[in-house]
Amino acid sequence: STDDTYVTVTNETENRLDILAFNYYGSARYWWVIALANYIIDPFEVPAGSVLRIPPLLSLYKSGGVLNG
């Protein structure tokens, strides 16, 4: 959606989805949202330079959302 945030993983930032989920959603348990939005298999090791889509939690079920392809 147009409300998505995009973040580039660098050597200076955390590269684990659970930490990114905590930073953007306030809870590490939403790591799977970032994984689904970015087709990531290993949520604990994201290569530096990756640009990740961070969708708002409220948009998950909307048309084009992570859970409503």
52 burial class (0-12, 13-18, 19+ CB within 10 angstroms)? buried
Alpha-carbon gap, residue 7 to 12, rounded angstroms: 12
Whole-prediction pTM: 0.79
Residues (pLDDT < 70) of the chain are 1, 12-13, 60-69
Q: So what's the pLDDT on residue 31?
A: 93
> Can you list the alpha helix ranges (DSSP code H) found in the chain?
17-25, 31-38
Q: So what's the pLDDT on residue 11?
A: 74
Residues 6+ apart with CB under 8 A from 3: 55, 56, 59
Q: So what's the pLDDT on residue 64?
A: 57
Percentage of residues in the chain with pLDDT exceeding 70? 81
